[in-house]
């Protein structure tokens, strides 16, 4: 605790006791009251008037209070920043809400369309195939040179549309190709036509190849497969179509069909031993 000091009008106090220990005095955190004495006057350190108390407070107990004008300015700036952020937050919330609403409407529309129309994928198969222009003779088999051929394929395709409320428009610019061991033998197109609902359409397409080079390896493999009566072929179809539901037509959709076919020979009377067609759609 601080010592009480009397004013200079009272009798002079006894001399202060000698300091016990400098470390003990420095560790004390309580304020001390001392009487201002009259040392020799100095311009840098003026002597306080009589009856004045000088209070010494440690630095760790000195608190600074900012001026009130700074506090008011800080509050004003805080209000401005909050008012600026509120319109941005509202715009973002409105955008997210509208996007969520649109997604919900699209999902509901798709669900209603599926329940009402009940769409089913069409089925495709190869019913017959006829080959000409591929002459593999015994002399060619013995030769190690490559062979150039110009094959022609007449392919009969069966398209089944099992949907009750969906019609299919087969558009131009389609492509049909036949491969053997990654070698394109011929190409052509699917005829343009409209297939109504619950309809089976059988159409023929003529595929031609010109100047197809068969390397010795491909030629010998083809000869061996034909001698065994099992020639594997791959038929690919890429056809742009439009779906019709009622009086509404869709945008152009690409139908992709890949058929693995095995025939006994590459002749006009070729017979199909096995066929497996895979169907896919490219919406955009």
User: Is 49 buried (19+), middle (13-18) or exposed (0-12) by CB count in 10 A?
Assistant: exposed
Q: Tell me the per-residue pLDDT of 98-138, one tens digit each, with 9 for 90 and over.
A: 999 999 988 888 888 778 788 888 999 999 999 999 887 64
Helix (H, G, I), strand (E, B) or coil at 145: coil
Backbone angles phi, psi at 168, to 5 degrees: -125, 125
| Mean pLDDT estimate for the chain | 79
**What is the percent of the chain with per-residue pLDDT over 90, rounded to a whole number?**
43
| Residue 27 vs residue 51, higher pLDDT | 51
Residue 41: the pLDDT is 56
- Phi-psi group of 181: left, alpha or beta (phi > 0 → left; psi -120 to 50 → alpha; rest → beta): left
Q: Render 188-234 in DSSP notation, one character per residue.
A: E-PPPEEE-TTEEEEEEEEEE--SEEEPHHHHHHHHHHHHHT-EEEE
Average pLDDT over every residue of 157-166: 93
Taking alpha carbons only, the member of 233, 237, 232 closest to residue 281 is: 237
Residue count of the chain: 284
Residue 29: the pLDDT is 44
Q: Tell me the per-residue pLDDT of 225-275, one tens digit each, with 9 for 90 and over.
A: 998 999 999 999 999 999 999 888 999 999 999 999 999 999 999 999 999
Q: Could you report how far apart the first and last alpha carbons of the chain are, in Å? A: 89
Contact assessment for residue 258 and residue 238, using Cβ atoms and an 8 Å cutoff: no
Question: DSSP strand E in the chain: where?
Answer: 32-35, 53-56, 123-132, 147-149, 152-161, 166-170, 175-180, 183-188, 193-195, 199-208, 212-214, 231-245, 248-249, 253-263, 272-282
| Residue 283 vs residue 177, higher pLDDT | 177
pTM of the model: 0.63
């Amino acid at each position: 605790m601080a010592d009480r000091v009397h004013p200079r009008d009272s009798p002079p106090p006894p001399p202060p006791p000698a300091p016990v220990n400098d470390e003990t005095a420095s560790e004390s955190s309580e304020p001390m009251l001392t009487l201002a004495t009259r040392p020799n006057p100095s311009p840098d350190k003026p002597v306080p008037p009589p009856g004045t108390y000088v209070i010494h407070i440690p630095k760790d107990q000195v608190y600074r209070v900012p001026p009130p004008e700074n506090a008011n300015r800080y509050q004003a700036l805080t209000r401005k920043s909050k008012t600026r952020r509120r319109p941005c937050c509202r715009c973002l919330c409105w955008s997210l809400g509208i996007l969520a609403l649109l997604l919900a409407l699209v999902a509901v529309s798709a669900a209603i369309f599926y329940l009402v129309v009940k769409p089913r994928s069409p089925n495709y198969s190869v019913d017959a195939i006829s080959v000409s222009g591929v002459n593999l003779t015994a002399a060619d088999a013995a030769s190690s040179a490559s062979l150039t051929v110009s094959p022609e394929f007449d392919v009969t395709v069966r398209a089944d549309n099992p949907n009750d409320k969906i019609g299919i428009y087969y558009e131009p610019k389609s492509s049909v190709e036949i491969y053997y061991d990654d070698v394109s033998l011929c190409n052509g197109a699917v005829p343009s036509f409209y297939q109504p609902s619950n309809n089976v359409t059988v159409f023929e397409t003529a595929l031609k190849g010109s100047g197809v080079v068969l390397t010795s390896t491909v030629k010998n493999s083809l000869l061996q497969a034909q001698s065994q009566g099992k020639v594997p072929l791959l038929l690919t179809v890429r056809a742009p179509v439009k779906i019709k539901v009622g009086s509404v037509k869709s945008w152009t959709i690409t139908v992709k069909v890949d058929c693995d076919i095995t025939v006994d020979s590459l002749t006009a009377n070729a017979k199909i031993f096995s066929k497996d067609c895979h169907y896919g759609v490219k919406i955009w």
